[in-house]
């Protein structure tokens, strides 16, 4: 897998410290580092940090200490880490510092299709863009070299189709930890005030110029054709693989010249322009923003996003690449069969502790505005219990804003839901803000003890760290109380009566008595985590069922369905996780335990 290959490159570079926050499609980078660390006995330090900003700062600190260091995240994580990322470009680094940022054109499981190469440009940080897992390994090694040579952070930007692609990989040897010497005090650099920042900015610009002159990766290289065709294609990253395969498989496209560029920023603009000038037409195929295209000065013969030839959004899947190549080469378009079936919507798992929590939030706070957050529990949308989803931690911040903007005659009741990992990541400052400003809303922290959506990484409340070594568990109740919240309750979401009572108490405190924000922590481990005991109790639906559909509509349990021909409800005994919440909430009391 591409992410494993990147991790392998990190180990082969003798990297000493790696930090990450999980996020699809980047999560397997740190997971693979943990595996290599154990299998090879490599001394690298690995951690799941509380968020991407901290992960970057951990890596940056380690670089100043003379180690090679890596931070990994998904594209929106770089938004969170952008403050230190941009400053680090000015200040520079000591030990090689590589930031792995996984992009998700599509988007398949992300909030945006942002192009991290563009972010690199904005930050004036060099960007390497691998096309295959094998290339990703080589580029990880190269990124450390470049970073150390120019004392700059280097961004390695794999797209999902590299991160999750698999192929056989040629491995090199793991290297012992690289050491560039201990931290040397120099406040004009490491604590530069604005006067020195100007100097550093000048040095940064010089470094970028030197990279363009000295590093071959900044120039396009011919990967297909002889350089004498009418039509040229300039491409970079994972989409370059589609271009190569499609051009190689079609005789009518065989006259193409395909140029690939490994370092799309800072690219050698003169060399790029030369490609354009020596061909009649040039098609630029890159994901997802026009980074290479914008570095071309004369675009009169260029077909790309700016000319309207390449779709401005969505993944450049092979079909689209083929259409683009054919149209640029004046070959008639192919007919495509559209996909017939509606997409399959994901649901919370059977037995998921979020399900009863959402169910009871709907019952207790009717007509409230439900601000939601990023994680499995965004799927509360299916149950009508999530109205908003902006970015990590926004459920809490937005709840404050909604609560401060009441409409006349409106109950202006706001209920926020957030998972435990997301709360630690970005919810804490917003909660302190809410307490301080006396914002009036109920916050439900859905604590399943893990970062479930991305595969179950530990949170700051876990007693052990990424590699299994002991850590200090940060107690959530103490944290919430420390934020200044007085009304904090913890409840098991499987316990119908207690859950109801707890939410009603929060409603009374916040809305009826106007005593400010209250917090309910619904705590039960994710059913998907290893070692979590699943109930073997199974249930059946009795004749008392009046087909009210509450179990499928309000509870949205995938294990229960309506049998059309027979006009009855049925529980799929294989899917059922035995949580028994349906027994507690069925209005007709028509669900009973088997064997009762």
**Residues in touch with other proteins (CB under 8 A):** 24-25, 108-109, 131-132, 161, 164-168, 241-242, 244-246, 249, 317-319, 322, 334, 336-349, 376, 379, 382, 453, 455, 528, 549, 552-553, 556, 558, 560-562, 564
Task: Report CA 153 to chain centroid distance, whole Å.
Answer: 21
Question: φ, ψ for residue 388 (rounded to 5)?
Answer: -135, 150
Number of neighbouring beta carbons within 10 Å of residue 438: 13
Encoded tokens for 87: 């400053």
Positions of E strands within 451-575: 488-491, 518-523, 539-541, 560-563, 568-571
Minimum distance between the CB of residue 106 and other proteins, rounded to whole angstroms? 9
231-235: strand order across its sheet: 221-224, 257-260, 231-235, 281-285, 302-303
What is the DSSP annotation of 85-118?
HHHHHHH--SS-EEEEEEB-SS-SSSS----HHH
Minimum distance between the CB of residue 120 and other proteins, rounded to whole angstroms? 24
Please, are residues 457 and 48 in contact by the beta-carbon 8 Å criterion? yes
> Measured from the CB atom, is 183 or 562 closer to other proteins?
562
69-74: strand order across its sheet: 45-48, 17-20, 69-74, 97-102, 153-156, 127-128
Minimum distance between the CB of residue 315 and other proteins, rounded to whole angstroms? 9
Q: Report the DSSP pairing between strands 127-128 and 153-156.
A: parallel
> Measured from the CB atom, is 24 or 440 closer to other proteins?
24
Minimum distance between the CB of residue 455 and other proteins, rounded to whole angstroms? 8
Please, are residues 87 and 204 in contact by the beta-carbon 8 Å criterion? no
Please, are residues 152 and 92 in contact by the beta-carbon 8 Å criterion? yes
Encoded tokens for 307: 């000319």
> Measured from the CB atom, is 135 or 151 closer to other proteins?
135
Minimum distance between the CB of residue 265 and other proteins, rounded to whole angstroms? 23
CA distance 59 to 16: 9
Minimum distance between the CB of residue 346 and other proteins, rounded to whole angstroms? 4
Please, are residues 174 and 37 in contact by the beta-carbon 8 Å criterion? no
CA distance 445 to 147: 41
273: nearest Cα among 240, 238, 301 = 301
> Measured from the CB atom, is 342 or 407 closer to other proteins?
342
> Measured from the CB atom, is 346 or 593 closer to other proteins?
346
- Give, for 154, the enclosing helix (H) or strand (E): strand 153-156
Minimum distance between the CB of residue 450 and other proteins, rounded to whole angstroms? 13
CA distances to 426, 459, 548, 583 from 574, rounded to whole Å, are: 38, 31, 23, 17
> Measured from the CB atom, is 185 or 345 closer to other proteins?
345
Q: Helix (H, G, I), strand (E, B), or coil: what is residue 510? A: helix
Minimum distance between the CB of residue 245 and other proteins, rounded to whole angstroms? 4
Please, are residues 127 and 265 in contact by the beta-carbon 8 Å criterion? yes
Encoded tokens for 530: 């290893």
Minimum distance between the CB of residue 518 and other proteins, rounded to whole angstroms? 29
Minimum distance between the CB of residue 374 and other proteins, rounded to whole angstroms? 12
Minimum distance between the CB of residue 179 and other proteins, rounded to whole angstroms? 36
> Measured from the CB atom, is 465 or 548 closer to other proteins?
548
Minimum distance between the CB of residue 116 and other proteins, rounded to whole angstroms? 18
Number of neighbouring beta carbons within 10 Å of residue 306: 15
End-to-end CA distance of the chain: 49
CA distance 151 to 222: 30
Residue that has been written with the tokens 């496209």 in this structure: 253
Minimum distance between the CB of residue 90 and other proteins, rounded to whole angstroms? 35
What's 171's DSSP letter? -
CA distance 25 to 528: 19
Q: Helix (H, G, I), strand (E, B), or coil: what is residue 353? A: coil
> Measured from the CB atom, is 302 or 586 closer to other proteins?
586
> Measured from the CB atom, is 95 or 350 closer to other proteins?
350
> Measured from the CB atom, is 200 or 552 closer to other proteins?
552
Residue that has been written with the tokens 């316990």 in this structure: 495
Minimum distance between the CB of residue 104 and other proteins, rounded to whole angstroms? 9
Minimum distance between the CB of residue 546 and other proteins, rounded to whole angstroms? 14
> Measured from the CB atom, is 57 or 315 closer to other proteins?
315
Rg over CA atoms, the chain: 27
> Measured from the CB atom, is 66 or 578 closer to other proteins?
578
> Measured from the CB atom, is 223 or 432 closer to other proteins?
223
> Measured from the CB atom, is 339 or 536 closer to other proteins?
339
> Measured from the CB atom, is 300 or 342 closer to other proteins?
342
């Amino acid at each position: 897998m591409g992410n494993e290959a990147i991790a392998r490159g990190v180990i082969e570079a003798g990297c000493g410290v790696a930090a990450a926050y999980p996020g699809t499609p980047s999560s397997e980078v740190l997971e693979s580092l943990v595996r290599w660390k154990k299998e090879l006995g490599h001394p690298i330090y690995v951690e799941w940090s509380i968020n991407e900003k901290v992960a970057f700062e951990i890596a940056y600190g380690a670089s100043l200490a003379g180690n090679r260091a890596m931070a990994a995240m998904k594209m929106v994580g770089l938004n969170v880490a952008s403050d230190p990322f941009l400053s680090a470009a000015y200040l520079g680094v000591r030990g090689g510092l590589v930031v792995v940022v996984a992009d998700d054109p599509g988007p398949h499981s992300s909030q945006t299709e942002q192009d991290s190469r563009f972010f690199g440009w904005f930050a004036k940080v060099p960007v390497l863009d691998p096309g295959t897992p094998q290339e990703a390994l080589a580029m990880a090694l190269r990124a450390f070299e470049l970073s150390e040579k120019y004392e700059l952070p280097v961004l390695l930007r794999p797209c999902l189709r590299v991160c999750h692609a698999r192929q056989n990989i040629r491995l090199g040897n793991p290297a012992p930890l690289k050491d560039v010497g201990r931290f040397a005090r120099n406040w004009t650099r490491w604590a530069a005030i604005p006067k020195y920042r100007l100097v550093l900015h000048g040095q940064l610009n010089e470094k970028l110029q030197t990279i363009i002159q000295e590093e071959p990766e900044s120039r396009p290289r011919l990967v297909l054709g002889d350089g004498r065709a009418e039509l040229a294609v300039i491409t970079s990253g994972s989409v370059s693989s589609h271009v190569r395969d499609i051009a190689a498989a079609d005789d009518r496209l065989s006259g193409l010249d395909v140029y690939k560029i490994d370092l799309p920023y800072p690219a050698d603009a003169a060399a790029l322009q030369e490609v354009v000038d020596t061909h009649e037409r040039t098609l630029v195929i890159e994901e997802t923003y026009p980074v290479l295209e914008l570095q071309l000065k004369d675009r009169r013969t260029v077909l790309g996003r700016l000319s309207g030839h390449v779709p401005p959004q969505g993944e450049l899947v092979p079909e689209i690449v083929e259409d683009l190549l054919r149209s640029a080469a004046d070959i008639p378009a192919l007919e495509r069969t559209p996909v017939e079936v509606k997409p399959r919507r994901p649901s919370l798992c059977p037995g998921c502790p979020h399900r009863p929590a959402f169910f009871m939030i709907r019952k207790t706070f009717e007509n409230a505005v439900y601000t939601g957050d990023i994680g499995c529990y965004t799927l509360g949308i299916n149950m009508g219990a999530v109205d908003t989803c902006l970015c990590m931690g926004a459920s809490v911040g937005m709840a404050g804003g909604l609560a401060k903007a009441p409409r006349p005659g409106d109950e202006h009741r706001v209920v926020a839901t957030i998972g435990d990992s997301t709360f630690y990541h970005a919810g804490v400052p917003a909660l302190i803000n809410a307490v301080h400003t006396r914002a009036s809303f109920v916050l439900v922290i859905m604590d399943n003890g893990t970062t479930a959506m991305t595969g179950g990484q530990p949170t700051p409340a876990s007693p052990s760290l990424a590699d299994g070594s002991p850590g200090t568990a940060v107690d959530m109740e103490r944290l919430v109380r420390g934020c200044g919240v007085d009304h904090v309750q913890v409840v098991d979401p499987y316990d119908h009566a207690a859950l109801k009572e707890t939410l009603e108490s929060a409603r009374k405190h916040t809305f009826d008595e106007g005593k400010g924000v209250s917090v309910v922590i619904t705590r039960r481990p994710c059913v998907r985590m290893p070692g979590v005991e699943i109930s073997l109790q199974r249930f059946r639906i009795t004749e008392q069922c009046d087909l009210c559909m509450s179990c499928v509509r309000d509870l949205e349990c995938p294990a229960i369905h309506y049998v059309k021909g027979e006009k009855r409800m049925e529980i799929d005994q294989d899917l059922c996780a035995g949580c028994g919440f349906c027994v507690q909430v069925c209005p007709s009391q028509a669900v009973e335990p088997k064997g009762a």
